Structure 1
């Protein structure tokens, strides 16, 4: 059920950073109407690091009510303390979500053994499926393929969002993990190649602004239509790169405001709004993708 195009959804905000539920509703409708397979709520792109857990519960509950089972909903439940991740998991399990995205414990730099114990503790706290999330560039720690294979033995650890962008890493995971273990790209720029080489989908930042195109890309790649997948991806490559011209999700919020989908590109400190000099770059990337402002 975790195959295809999943959006790492932004959290719209107004004023001094209050969650904008009207814009959130528009965003969810946008994805319901544009072939997105599922929503990942309160991950990195959703600014989970600066949104209180009480607010996170409210946002996820609102999304679940609106979606009402029409597409999948995954909740971010990561924390750098195992006890906190377990408590978050227990609370979120009471909501009608389809699973969890659990990032590697950040900042602490645990050993591989510590991460096995961490993820297994999270998995034991819920009956819902758990996706591992490996993003060394943000967390300072790398979940190695051998460790992932060990964790894949846990019944409800069902896949990984692998954000290294390495095809060698994909090959190692494919070799070591069971065939039904979900391999999802967490790197838009290499997601097409990832899927053409056997990956099952992507959790995408680009899908925030180009959901229909990302859905088409995923379906083409996973059906083996290399020509269509690469043609679709070529038009999106500028977006894949330029949506990271500043820290994610700064550029995505700017683009979504320009598209009229959110009221404001406000975010919480220490993130700040897009520098004006970068606006033209993102406009050009949107134009290359066929997205009108």
Structure 2
């Protein structure tokens, strides 16, 4: 598997009542293909994976795979805090036609490093689809340490990691410990371009939901070693790297896409729509980035 560049952590568009908006989902996929995004993540954190049920999970992945139609790869989010559930979700994703799976560390139950190793090893042995580890301790209360990643990168179908700490020293250590063909993805928009310039392979991005062409171009430049262009493009997006996290993701990005006319306002409890004070702040950032007309 050789997926590089801007990988959109795709929202799951919903109607006001919280039901999935299948028509808007297809339109979003087509838009990202047209804008030059390099790959999509289906039903990740930004896709509201915690409130997407098993059957729906399978359907969303199938619809995204069908809409992408082989034009760009689709990576399915299939992590869980139960190893059996993660295996089940990963099998579903393989049957649905996903190109790879993204598996967040088990949240809440706080396994040891040996537990994490055994968890990922069990999934890899049960399902032969390419698998990408996902470390985001700020959400999971669980940190997949570099020495454990080094052990896991030797498993044939564990092909990469999304490292979302934003810690570039951690990224450097992963690069030193893992083989050159092990794919290293940033999961932190604010530091992603520097991550790629250091030797990373791509960015699993929230910002790319609203500025896909710019993020794709910035990642392309960084992969080509053109630091000046990559940083200049990144500067155009910098306000959104912060603004899209004024409240818990994906609250701000779904609100932003609604303001841009790309999706309805639906979001599922316990998440709620963006609060009033944050709306005006983010609206101004969208205007500054040329995504909304100045009124």
Aligned to 1:196: 197
Matches within 5 A, 1:74-223: 74-223=75-224
Maintained 8 Å contact 1:82/1:118: yes
CA distance in 1, matches of 2:291, 2:17: 29
- Where in structure 1 are there 5+ consecutive unaligned residues? none
CA distance in 2, matches of 1:113, 1:196: 32
Is residue 19 from structure 1 mapped to residue 33 from structure 2 by the alignment? no
The alpha-carbon deviation at position 106 of structure 1 amounts to 0.5
SS state of the match for residue 200, structure 2?
coil
CA distance in 2, matches of 1:140, 1:193: 25
CA distance in 2, matches of 1:155, 1:52: 30
Maintained 8 Å contact 1:6/1:37: yes
SS state of the match for residue 74, structure 1?
strand
CA distance in 2, matches of 1:287, 1:149: 43
The alpha-carbon deviation at position 265 of structure 1 amounts to 1.9
CA distance in 2, matches of 1:269, 1:184: 29
Maintained 8 Å contact 2:36/2:212: yes
Maintained 8 Å contact 2:260/2:292: yes
The alpha-carbon deviation at position 91 of structure 1 amounts to 2.2
Normalising by the residue count of structure 1, what TM-score does the alignment of the two structures yield? 0.98
For residues 89-130 of structure 1, the C-alpha deviation after alignment (integer angstroms, 9 at most, x for no partner) is: 122211211000000010010000000000011111222100
The alpha-carbon deviation at position 30 of structure 1 amounts to 1.0
CA distance in 2, matches of 1:204, 1:211: 9
- Where in structure 2 are there 5+ consecutive unaligned residues? none
Shifted more, 151-160 versus 23-32: the winner is 23-32
SS state of the match for residue 13, structure 1?
coil
SS state of the match for residue 168, structure 1?
helix
The alpha-carbon deviation at position 284 of structure 1 amounts to 2.2
Aligned to 2:283: 283
SS state of the match for residue 274, structure 1?
coil
Counting matched residue pairs gives: 292
Aligned to 1:241: 242
Shifted more, 203-212 versus 121-130: the winner is 121-130
Aligned residues: CA RMSD? 0.9
Aligned to 1:45: 46
Maintained 8 Å contact 1:236/1:288: no
For residues 233-254 of structure 1, the C-alpha deviation after alignment (integer angstroms, 9 at most, x for no partner) is: 1111110001000110111111
CA distance in 2, matches of 1:30, 1:68: 13
Maintained 8 Å contact 1:3/1:200: yes
Aligned to 1:5: 6
